[in-house]
Amino acid sequence: MKDKILITGGCGFIGHHFVEHLIKSTDWDILILDNLTYASEGFDRLRDIQVYTDQRVTILSADFTRPITKGVSQELGSLDYIVHMGAETHVDNSIKDPEPFIMSNFVGTFHMLEFARTQKNLKKFLYFSTDEVFGPAPENVNYKENDRYDSTNPYSASKAGGEELTLAWGNTY
């Protein structure tokens, strides 16, 4: 039986490249959960890489700042992997209006982690963050994964919060 992967934010810039990679390098069934905000440009990126009508790709529009509904859960079915890329992006946007960043990047991550707990056969949950959580890097400094956070804006703070939730859920559940 083929593996089945859920990618949140699969219509976004990084997400659609990841979908394209999986189409070319696996035989997996790919499910995309995207809220289709400004960051996704709708389905255009998936059309550009010619996967919008691919039979291995299923696209659902849902807002994970709210709990995953029973209907969406039923459509997703049993998953092997969840790659949580969906997020509000752009530092300047977070400074103008931080609430959507807290809701998507922190509360939304919580909802995805809780959904992951319902998946009996889940092999892995991957959370995509940002180097912004470490703040500005001095010249010739490369941060390591466990370096101290130094968030300098609401975007990076919300992503750091999502990282901490993911670590806590991994350690607890």
Task: List, by residue number, the catalytic residues.
Answer: 131-132, 155
**Cα separation of the two ends of the chain:** 26
Radius of gyration of the CA atoms of the chain, in A: 16
Q: Which residue has the tokens 């995953």?
A: 68
162: left (phi over 0), alpha (psi -120 to 50) or beta: alpha
Candidates 30, 8, 38, 10; CA nearest to 125 is: 8
Contact of 31 with 42, CB cutoff 8 Å: no
